[in-house]
Structures are given as structure tokens and as C-alpha cells.
Amino acid sequence: MEKNNIKIIKDMKKINSYVLGGLCALSLTFSTGAAIEVQAATQSVAQAGQPVDLTYASKKALAAVVSVKTVQNSKTQTVEVNSDPFSDFFSDPFGFFGNPNQGNGGKQRRQVRTPKQEGLGSGVIISSDGYIVTNNHVVAGADELTVTLEDNREFNAKIIGTDPTTDLALIKVEAKNLPTLPIGDSDKLKVGQWVIAVGNPFGLSNTVTAGIISAKARSIGANGVESFIQTDAAINRGNSGGALVTADGELVGINAMLYSETGSYSGYGFAIPTAIMNKVVADLKQYGTVQRAYLGIRGTDLHNQIDNLKDNNKDVPDYGTDNGVYVASVEDEGAGAAAGLKEGDIITKIDGKTINKMAELQEVINNKKPGDKATITWLRNKKEMSKTVVLKNKQGNTKIMKTADFAVLGANVLPVSDALKKQLGISYGLQVKNVKKGAFKDGGIEDGFIIISANDKPMKTIADLQEAVKEASLSKNPVLFITGIWPSGKTDYKAIKVSE
């Protein structure tokens, strides 16, 4: 259908086919070589029926919105290519250095060097000591970050934490007395209210565009947790991480993406509300990762469920309501199961707050942490039911989750030597050295063991293993399932616990 003919561009890739999603407003170029202080805005807004003056808001926002330049350095990667009999012969005429899967029309592993990549996005200063909010997709994979202020001062920045689930990131520069934006309450926004979008579209620094709030609590399937503010203020590539600001100069959203069939603005921009941002930023600042509570259900907007039944020529039950979240499945041992939720139930309230759609449910739960209580109200066969439960984290408990440090392994690793790769017929791997007390020793890994993959991902660089440890430590099952090989050539499998 035409409405699904939408294009998404995210991270550092350009996707030409149309898919359901959003166009992240990040401008790219390529080269070959623990609380946030909320300030009250004092400027009054024009009365109804009078022209809206946006000059005050623009002046406040321009000072606090920065340009974020990212650099991904050139890297060597191993890729699979179709075997070429001519190049196979001239590079290895006797087949000494191949493996059984190379040559003869099969696949061949080759090392290629990726070009240096540069990206440009935006960010918002939220504290005078240098904390800046931006999008995760702006900084993901960056080796270098440079922040430029409106007055052209430049700072190197470091990543404090990222949250791909909401597409938010917190970075910091070493500076004092920086201009900030007061943080407003996005829940109080009204459809039709005037706002400005501030950022650096197409590298055009310090750009302000104006529009209105077109809709609230939009879900477009781009992030794991989303409740977007929709606006018709122009958002383009480079606006990612910029500010959505009210006429009285309050930050109410972080611009993130746009809907477009052309890659450029067409009237539909989306921002992450401060109602989601505030907790994510506070957690990243305090813990380095988000303390996320889970309800333990899969669901969809009730009207989506009804439309799906109609599309499949099925009878539509009388759910007793037209709004709410349809429960499609319930995870064992989750908060939803503890409440007694079942497939087919309709969630209508959380803590007494009316829930009309999934985005609203996600926003409410996002602002809770493991150990918090939530009162769930739902309909089953048109009968209202309610229960208060304790929310848990992804690992099924209420403990504070922190990213495991690489040191938890209790050993060093190095990329396997060319000589050993040739001897064992492998093209990559990480060899374990100096095993001491830690997860490797507990899991039976000793000096010399070569890690080939962890949790089904190839381990080509030390950074690959660092990322695997981080992901595993925050997962439901904090274990690294490792496939490796001993110097003798024997393949072995290990399960390494990286978190309690």
C-alpha cells in the first residue's frame, strides 16, 4: 500500500528500498583517506488569536543546540566474496593457503579496508557542565566526536552512555558555564501548539524551522520503545539529536527522524519526548546503562488487532472498548504473568492513567525502574480487572544492572597471529593470554584458547569481544556462548557467565 512506501536511513547506511520506519535526520559524508536541573522559562506565550513570536525561543535554543561531528576511522575487515579461479590461481597457485571452502566456485575470505566515514548531527546541552543529549544513531560506531557551539567553540566529546532502544545517547564535553535549555513537560503539549525545530540540517548550522504539534504518542516501528511527538516543523538530515522547543523556550523533544519517500522533508517529523528522555538520561549518567522495567507482554493497539481480524475475514469480538492495548502473549515469570494477564486481554490503564495505545503504555513503563510497582487495569470478556505488581528487569529480578567491564573475563586477548591462522586454517580469532581469576577461568578457558565466535557473532577484534560482553551482561541470560579452537586444532565450546 502507498502509505507503507516509506524510507528509513539509520546509522551510516543509505537504504534505497522503501520500508516501514523513519528517516533518521543524520547528515553523512565519506572520505577515502544524577538529576537534570529543570529551569522555568519566564517568557509568556502570545494569547489565543494573536501572532506567535518565536524569537525568544529561537535565541534560547540556538545557544544550547550544538553540531556533533562524528568520525569512523578506516578499518580492515574480513569479507566473503565469490571465488575467482584466476585470482585464486595467481594468489595461491598450489592451494597451500586456502581452506576447503575456498576456490572451485565457492566462497573466499578477503581483507578489505573500509573508507573513513564522517557524519554530522546535532545535540542539546542540558547542563552547564557539558552534558549533551543526542541520538544513538548519531554517535553509534564513532571513533571521534567533535562538538561545535553556536559561537564556534569546539570541544572533543566522549560518550557517557547510549540506549538503542529509545535511540538516545548522552555525551559530555569538558567545559563550564555552557548555555542550556530548560526542560519542559512533553506530556502537557497540545496538538496544534507552536514549536520550533533547531539543528544543523545538511550542515547548515544554527537552523530554526517552525511548525505545530501534529500528533502525540506516535508509534512508527523504528525503536523498541517509542512514543513520538509528530510535528510539521521541517526536519532533515543533520537535524538528528536537535531540539524541539516550545514558544516559551522549553525543550520538549529530541528530533530523531522523518517520514519521506524522497529522503527530504515532506511534512512529517518525529521527536523523542522529554517524558522518555529524562529517565534515560538520568540512568545513563548514573549507571552508564538504562535501568529498564519490563511488563513482560507482547501486544499491539486494539484497533490494529481489530483491523487485522477484519482483513482476514474473521469475526471481531466485543472487547467492551475501542481503545487500549491488546495482549498478544504473556512471558512466563514476568510482571504481566504475575498480574494474571492472558492473551486476548485489553490493557486500559496503568496506575489509573488511561492507555489508548501501545506507545502510551511504553512511555509509562519506560519511566519506571525494576522494583517499582505498577497497577495494571484490563478488560477480559468486558469485565474490568486490576492488580498491582512489582516490575522486573530483563533478567527477571529487581537488581541494578550495570554493563560488565571487560576485566570480568580475568584475562587478556590478542588477535590471532598470521602464522597460527595459516596453521589452523582460520581467517580470524582472538587468542586468550594470561588467564587469572575471573569468568574465563571459571568457565574452563585457559591460555592459548582461540575464540572464534561469541553468541553467534564472529570475534575478529578486541572491540567485538568487548561489545559481546556488554550485550550479554545486560541480556536476559548473561552468558557468553563461545565457539573456539585450541592450538592443537581441537574445536571446543564454552559457556561463560559474565554477570551474577
Catalytic residue check, 248: no
Longest dimension (CA), the chain: 84
Phi, psi of 396 (to 5 degrees): 85, 20
Long-range (24+ apart) CB contacts under 8 A made by 491-497 are: 492/449, 494/443, 494/444, 494/445, 495/443, 496/409, 496/439, 496/440, 496/442, 496/443, 496/445, 497/439, 497/442, 497/443
Extract the C-alpha cell encoding 283.
Answer: 540512568
Catalytic residue check, 240: yes
Say how far apart CA 210 and CA 231 lie, in whole Å.
Answer: 9
**Which one from 240, 260, 453, 499 is the annotated catalytic residue?**
240
**Which one from 27, 88, 137, 205 is the annotated catalytic residue?**
137
Output Rg (C-alpha) for the chain, integer angstroms: 26
Extract the C-alpha cell encoding 260.
Answer: 519521506
Burial 129-149 (b: 16+ CB within 10 A, else e): ebbbbbbbbbbbebeebbbbb
Q: Which residues contact 397 (CB under 8 A, 6 or more apart)?
A: 370
Query: Is the CB of residue 164 less than 8 Å from the CB of residue 290?
Result: no
Nearest Cα neighbor of 97 from 421, 468, 456, 498 is 421
**Which one from 88, 163, 167, 283 is the annotated catalytic residue?**
167
Catalytic residue check, 447: no
Question: What are the CA-CA distances from residue 17 to residues 65, 238, 346, 387 (Å)?
Answer: 32, 21, 35, 45
Write out the catalytic residue numbers.
Answer: 137, 167, 240
